[in-house]
Amino acid sequence: MTAHNELRLLPWSGPEGKPCFLSTDDSSGHLSRLADNTEAVQLGMATKLLEQASEILGEEEAEPEELRLLATDLTGALRDVLRVATSRGHRLPVPDLAAREGGNEGPQLPAAAFG
């Protein structure tokens, strides 16, 4: 397996909301560690917000302003989580070309495994 040789999408935006990228082979460098820590914070905040959303939506008489704020916060958290998922997905290893040409598409299970 080899890793993508692409720029890393960072978990923050630049001017005018444009994406920021990092070009480095050093995953332990200062900016890489900062990006990893920022992603962890964003995912943790999204988890807490999801719990809060479940509580608010479970209330029978949630106020419209409370729901509007919740929708705004959820939209921001979803944007952050999608950026993290996209960034991490681009950094996943990809199968070697030789393995793909050999017809091996991944793990193979015997027919008995399916009953």
**Cα separation, 1 vs 6, whole angstroms:** 15
pLDDT given at position 104: 58
Inter-CA distances, 34 with 21, 26, 28, 79, 84, Å: 13, 13, 10, 19, 13
Inter-CA distances, 22 with 13, 19, 101, Å: 12, 10, 32
Looking at per-residue confidence, does 46 or 113 come out higher? 46
Is the per-residue pLDDT at 3 higher than 60? no
Is the per-residue pLDDT at 10 higher than 80? yes
What count of other Cβ atoms lies within 10 Å of the Cβ of residue 49?
A: 17
pLDDT given at position 12: 93
- What is the C-alpha radius of gyration for the chain, rounded to an integer number of angstroms? 20
Q: How many residues does the chain have?
A: 115
Handedness of CA 21, 27, 31, 35 (dihedral sign): positive
Confidence of residue 24 (pLDDT cuts 50, 70, 90): confident
Global confidence as pTM: 0.71
- The per-residue pLDDT for range 39-98, each reduced to its tens digit, is 999 999 999 999 999 999 998 888 999 999 999 999 999 999 999 999 998 888 877 765
